[in-house]
Structure 1
Amino acid sequence: MKNRKRSLRARLLLWLIVPMTAFSLVAGWLTHENARRTADLLQDAALLAAARVMAADVRWSGDDLVASVSPSTIQIVGTPQGDQVFYRVEIAGGPVIAGTSDFPETPLADSPRWYDAHVSQMPIRAVTLKRPMYDAGRIVDVVVSVGRTQIARDAMVASLWKPQLAYILGSIAAMMVLVYAGLTLELRPLERLARGLAAQPSQTRVRIDTTDVHAELHPLIAAFNACLDIIERQALTQRRFIADAAHQIRTPLTLLGIQLQYARRQHNLEDVRETLLAMHHSNRAMVSLINQLLMLAQAEAADYTAFEGEVVDVREVAARAIEKLALAAQRRGIELVVSIATPLFVTGSETLLSEVLSNILDNAIRYSPKGTQVAIDASQTAGAVNIHVLDGGPGIPTALRERAFEPFFRASDEEGSGLGLAIAREIVRAHRGTISLEDAPSGQGLLVKLTFPASELPSQNPS
């Protein structure tokens, strides 16, 4: 499915149109009902007035009742629209004394009573009332019914309803126009902002100014600017890393080129061999640097989700790191002391965690004086595995400890690439852990603290 562009203005208008349409329908229906009730009340009042006048015109003529309905009585319910008027005067339970016999008979439960009926297949509105007539000690009930067609009533409903409906629809239309104009005006700052961002050169530091932007958009802009800050820092770090890596690689390559030129000018086989040995050391240093650069790139791209379910024994991690650096420690006269009292387990990659400990141990051995110790201590507290590496070297000043994790940073002139702690920090972050540098408890040396979430002992499957 194609990704369609979504307009904020159109969606806001839609959210207004839908409820306003529902409001228009409800308001139109209520207005029509009010107009109908008003027309019905007026019509019913006219019918009742005519019926009472007709009832008052009934007289005794001897022993008989007679009704004389005058034209003025009919005019009470007459209309300019030409409505037909029907009436009937009858004795209750007896004959019709005036009017049309086609008028429908309706049981008179109460008086007066209004109802809808049909005369000659024409719908009418009618009223029926009863009047008692007294003569010589007897009572005779006279029933008077008056009805009228609905032409005038329907015209009155339309005259009352249509102007109100036109007013409602006109108000809604005017409101929608004003809302659209308001949205257009209110969205102009965003359009100006977009044009301003597009007009800025790509080399400049792009940030969004919140001066003329609505308050509701400030959190979004702040988050966007924060993302730009992160991207800018990452780009700056990447550029610095590339520059430092190029410088670090160029140095051994230049040295290797000089050694090659020197070897070509030598005729003594022994001098050539010494030059080749020096070239071998230069090549090994360059290979080590490139491997560390690749390891740093792998650590930066590491994802903790890739390690889920992989339980690593901390003792195995320490054993691999010590095996890798035992010979280097022996050559420098450094004693490695390991203290892991109980089995400890973390979730992650054994290879990467061993690389972390190897880099930290390598730095500790490199900077420790001859005849001192490098201690590795591991324990578990409050659901976390803590690994401490303590050396007897000069340590790192507090002001430089954060920079010590930057690639190619070296606190002294000691041989090394300056990538060990940078690699360690990225791997630790990928494992949801923390790494910090502190002073040694004795005041001499550096204490490196590693903390990882503890993992449960892996289940053993029966053989």
Structure 2
Amino acid sequence: MNTASGQSLRRQLLLWLLLPQLVLWAGGGALAYRIALSYAEKGIDQSLTQSVRALARQVKPIGSGLLIDFPRAAQDVLEQDPKDRVSYTVSSPPGKFLLGNQSLPQPASVPVGIEGPFLYRTELEGKALRVAAMDVNYGEDNAPQTLRVQVGKSLVVQRRIARELVADMLAPLLAAGVLLSLLVYGGIRRGLAPLTRLTAQLENRSVNALSPIGMTQAPSEVHALVQAINGLLGEVERSVHQEKRFLDDAAHQLRTPLAGLISQVELAQHETSDPALAERLVKVHTGAQRSAHLVHQLLTLARAETHVRRAPTDLAALARDVARDWTPRALAAGMDLGYEGVDHLPMEGDPLQLREAMANLIDNALRYTPTGSTITLRVDATPSGASLAVEDNGPGLSQDDLAHVFQRFWRGSQLPGGCGLGLAIVREIAHRHGGEATVTAIAPHGLRVALRLP
């Protein structure tokens, strides 16, 4: 079931329904990651603020000096986790190292008028760092001094926590997305099921079955499509009936005067003794017979293109009957016509059209093979159905001519009597039965025309 561009309608629906879901899932994951980073950073800022205040309280001014009461145990607590290490620096004046990690970067600028800790981002040994800094004033009034306390913490753990949090959030969302995708696919498949059934009905119908399509349980959109197709089928059926009436009328109007003309010419041939007149009557008789044969072939071809009335048929028995009917003509022409093959081969087909196909094949062989030739009508069972063939040991055709034998009005010989439609009718009948017609050369000489029928 394809659209005009060749792309599946089911694929388009899945694309437009699942692609936005995938985009929203990816966008939601990125947003959740940023939110998780933001909350993790707030937690780090709060922790750093408390740490820098606690460290600042351990620095006590004594006269013009400082007493830093920072026990070893507290220092070990700050530095115990290598991955989440907390770095600290005490400097006075700001920037002149006193205690801690000497490589901890100083802030690029200090906010003016801020009281308490201020926070900034920096890098240490190639790793992102969040630092809280706090300036403490001490000393005498006439000699004020400033002490800067800095505590920094790596953002590696913060980002790891954010990733874990996002993964924990997105995993159930992904599972829900997969479930939703399956539900969407099932819904689309169920929604398109009427179109699938409609396609199956159209594909499984006989070539000439123009009866309306029935769709009882289907959405209104499919009902509208079915009604449109049924309307088109009705128009085609009316056109076919009109064509059939025209063909029947044409057959009656053309065959009757041609038959009368042939009879009058034959009577005139028996009554005349003038050699010149007799020669002209022979030409008129030949032309009238050719015209009658052409009318018959044209009507047969037109009917083969319009309808096939299938019925249970024994193809082998039908072939034997046709061979018996044509045996007198074959004997009169000095040829050996016989049947070979299975005794019975049941199939579904139109007996009248199959008989017409065999008659055309035998007539074609009788016309274009020399006296004394052997013609065989053969019916065999094949793995895919049935094979109906007529073989002869006549002169056959060249490889170039074999490519044209089924073309209408093409003739491989200029012998009188033929009109170039016999094998075209045979191919059309084969197609109308769901089969195909083939022609092959027989070594050392001869021709085989076969119909493969289901």
Normalising by structure 2, we get a TM-score of 0.51
Separation of aligned partners in 1, 2:75 and 2:227: 80
Separation of aligned partners in 2, 1:247 and 1:154: 95
Separation of aligned partners in 2, 1:156 and 1:79: 19
For 1:43, the equivalent position in structure 2 comes to 44
Alignment of 1:108-147 (within 5 A): 108-110=109-111, 111=114, 112-120=117-125, 122-133=127-138, 135-136=140-141, 139-147=144-152
Secondary structure in 2 aligned to 1:118? Answer: strand
The 1:30/1:77 distance shift into structure 2, 3 A limit, reads: farther
Question: What's the offset of the Cα at 1:23?
Answer: 2.5
Alignment of 1:62-461 (within 5 A): 62-70=63-71, 82-93=83-94, 95-110=96-111, 111=114, 112-120=117-125, 122-133=127-138, 135-136=140-141, 139-202=144-207, 204-260=209-265, 263=268
Question: What's the offset of the Cα at 1:28?
Answer: 1.9
Separation of aligned partners in 2, 1:76 and 1:237: 102
What RMSD in Å do the two structures reach over aligned CA positions?
4.0
For 1:340, the equivalent position in structure 2 comes to none
Q: How many residues align?
A: 278
For 1:58, the equivalent position in structure 2 comes to 59
| Gap regions ≥5 residues in structure 1 | 294-463
Render the CA deviation track for 1:113-139: whole Å, top value 9, x for unaligned.
Answer: 333333455542212222334644654
Separation of aligned partners in 2, 1:52 and 1:113: 11
Letter in 2 for 1:249: L
Q: Does the Cα contact within 8 Å between 1:102 and 1:120 map onto a contact in 2?
A: no
Q: Does the Cα contact within 8 Å between 1:189 and 1:213 map onto a contact in 2?
A: yes
Normalising by structure 1, we get a TM-score of 0.51
Render the CA deviation track for 1:69-126: whole Å, top value 9, x for unaligned.
Answer: 3578669978878521111122244643432222212234215433333345554221
Render the CA deviation track for 1:134-182: whole Å, top value 9, x for unaligned.
Answer: 6446543322211122342133112211112223322221111111222
Q: Does the Cα contact within 8 Å between 1:50 and 1:76 map onto a contact in 2?
A: no
| Gap regions ≥5 residues in structure 2 | 299-454
The 1:66/1:222 distance shift into structure 2, 3 A limit, reads: farther
Separation of aligned partners in 2, 1:45 and 1:75: 21
Question: What's the offset of the Cα at 1:259?
Answer: 3.8
Letter in 2 for 1:168: L
Secondary structure in 2 aligned to 1:102? Answer: coil
Separation of aligned partners in 1, 2:238 and 2:76: 94
Secondary structure in 1 aligned to 2:212? Answer: coil
Question: What's the offset of the Cα at 1:200?
Answer: 4.4
Question: What's the offset of the Cα at 1:43?
Answer: 1.0
The 1:95/1:199 distance shift into structure 2, 3 A limit, reads: closer
